[in-house]
């Protein structure tokens, strides 16, 4: 059955909802067969290439929004721990350029500047755009930004400054979103995705598994993203943050996480599918298995705490028989030796949010 779903996806035919649901229920004995089928689809469009993405938290904490999973929301302050890093001012242009240099040194294809905010202020936009122009003039790296809700003018300004892709996750289904966030709507987020597209930027739009959503919520998210024709889908797994309303939510089971990634691959055969935040915590020893449905990962940690080091990620990619995809589109072998001591020791994993 899984092979037949791969054939269907490769032929460009959208899976039925029941077929996508069946993927989420694949028996443990069939997990390897399922991953093999998803890999056939992934290999047809991405070969054995893995792209590394690096996040840079340009402005940490004190966000006025109330996303229930996020430790950077000011609404959760006083409930234990708010942002573990506290509130920090916007980084400077020099800081951001230096961050891009470090990302480039890890052989990352993409560098993403992120701010904890409802939407970018004029001053923050000026900083991001100035950094984008300098980074684009200095090195070959794809540039992404995740700055919250946009207007048409702000989207156009970012595109003109050289931002290639904008991230704005839908997180979950429209139905479940109001259980998680009250300060803006799921429709607000869809509107920003449309503005990104109209401005000519690639769209990076994903979600989080483990928000207490039903199976139908997860399927709705996958099919909505297909309808929106997004270019990139980051799939996060909840790493419940202390002090947030979701602090007590259980961790996603590793096998379910892999089945969810396979489901997203079948529904999004050509899309840049990323195993994103919560990878290390959720998948543990099975992390390399995620490379069979997904073609990209974050390295060098997440927004408020760290993740696997570039050295560990290069080693995993090499050991699993994959290779790196660079911004130039060329492939090169992963090189854990060259990554040694590049950024210091591994830190605890956490969840990227924006």
Scored b (16 or more CB within 10 A) or e, 299-308 reads bbbbbbbbbb
Select 349 or 352, whichever has its Cβ closest to ligand SF4.
Answer: 352
Task: Give the footprint of ligand SF4 on residues 121-180 (CB under 6 A).
Answer: 148
Cα gap 32→30, rounded to integer Å: 6
Q: Are 291 and 323 in contact (CB under 8 A)?
A: no
SS3 assignment, position 297: strand
Select 15 or 60, whichever has its Cβ closest to ligand SF4.
Answer: 60
For this structure, is 144 an active site residue? Answer: yes
SS3 assignment, position 203: strand
Segment interacting with ligand SF4 (CB under 6 A) among 68-76, 189-197, 261-269, 290-298: 68-76
Tell me which of 40, 107, 110, 274 is the catalytic residue.
274
Minimum CB separation of residue 34 from ligand SF4 in Å reads: 31
Any contact of residue 63 with ligand SF4 (CB under 6 A)? Answer: yes
Any contact of residue 70 with ligand SF4 (CB under 6 A)? Answer: yes
Phi and psi at 320, nearest 5°, equal: -85, 0
Task: Give the footprint of ligand SF4 on residues 95-124 (CB under 6 A).
Answer: 116
Q: CB-based contacts of 121: which residues, under 8 Å, 6+ apart?
A: none
For this structure, is 262 an active site residue? Answer: no
Q: Considering CB under 6 A, how many residues would be counted as binding ligand SF4?
A: 10
10 Å Cβ neighbour count for 71?
29
Any contact of residue 65 with ligand SF4 (CB under 6 A)? Answer: yes
* Among residues 72, 173, 300, 304, the one that binds ligand SF4 under rule CB under 6 A: 72
Segment interacting with ligand SF4 (CB under 6 A) among 9-17, 62-70, 158-166, 255-263: 62-70
Q: Are 232 and 271 in contact (CB under 8 A)?
A: yes
Q: For the residues of 41-77, what is the DSSP string, one character each?
A: HHHHHHTTEEEEEEEEEEE-S-BSS--TT-TTBGGGT
For this structure, is 274 an active site residue? Answer: yes
Select 70 or 141, whichever has its Cβ closest to ligand SF4.
Answer: 70
DSSP class of 331: E
Select 62 or 105, whichever has its Cβ closest to ligand SF4.
Answer: 62
Q: CB-based contacts of 147: which residues, under 8 Å, 6+ apart?
A: 113, 114, 115, 117, 119, 120, 124, 125, 128, 158, 166, 354
Place of tokens 């139908």: 216
Tell me which of 204, 259, 265, 279 is the catalytic residue.
204
Tell me which of 40, 63, 165, 265 is the catalytic residue.
63
Select 99 or 310, whichever has its Cβ closest to ligand SF4.
Answer: 99
* Among residues 57, 73, 271, 309, the one that binds ligand SF4 under rule CB under 6 A: 73
Task: Point out which residues bind ligand SF4 (CB under 6 A).
Answer: 63, 65, 67, 70, 72-73, 116, 148, 353-354
């Amino acid at each position: 059955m899984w092979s037949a779903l791969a054939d269907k996806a490769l032929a460009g035919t959208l899976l039925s909802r029941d077929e996508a649901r069946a993927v989420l229920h694949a028996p443990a004995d069939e997990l390897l067969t399922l991953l093999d089928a998803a890999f056939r689809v992934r290999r047809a469009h991405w070969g054995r290439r893995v792209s590394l993405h690096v996040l840079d938290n340009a402005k940490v904490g004190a966000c006025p929004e109330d996303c229930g999973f996020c430790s950077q929301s000011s609404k959760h302050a006083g409930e234990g721990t708010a942002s573990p890093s506290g509130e920090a001012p916007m980084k400077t242009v020099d800081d951001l350029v230096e961050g891009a240099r470090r990302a480039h040194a890890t052989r990352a294809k993409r560098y993403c500047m992120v701010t904890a905010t409802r939407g970018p202020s004029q001053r923050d936009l000026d900083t991001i755009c100035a950094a984008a122009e300098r980074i684009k003039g200095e090195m070959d790296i794809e540039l992404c930004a995740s700055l919250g809700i946009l207007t048409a003018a702000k989207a156009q300004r970012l595109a003109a400054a050289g931002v290639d892709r904008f991230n704005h996750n839908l997180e979950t289904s429209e139905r479940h979103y109001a259980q998680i966030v009250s300060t803006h709507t799921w429709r607000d987020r869809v509107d920003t995705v449309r503005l990104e597209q109209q401005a000519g930027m690639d769209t990076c739009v994903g979600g989080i598994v483990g928000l207490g959503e039903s199976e139908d919520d997860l399927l709705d998210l996958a099919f909505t993203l297909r309808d929106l024709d997004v270019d990139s889908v980051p799939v996060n797994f909840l790493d419940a943050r202390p002090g947030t309303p979701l602090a007590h939510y259980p961790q996603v089971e590793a096998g379910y996480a892999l089945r969810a990634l396979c489901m997203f691959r079948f529904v999004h055969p050509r899309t840049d599918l990323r195993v994103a935040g919560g990878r290390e915590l959720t998948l543990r020893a099975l992390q390399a298995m995620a490379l069979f449905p997904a073609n990209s990962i974050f390295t060098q940690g997440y927004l408020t705490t760290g993740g696997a080091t570039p050295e560990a990620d290069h080693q995993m990619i090499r050991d699993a028989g994959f290779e790196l995809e660079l911004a130039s589109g060329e492939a090169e072998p992963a090189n854990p030796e060259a990554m040694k001591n590049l950024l210091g020791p591994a830190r605890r994993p956490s969840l990227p949010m924006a």
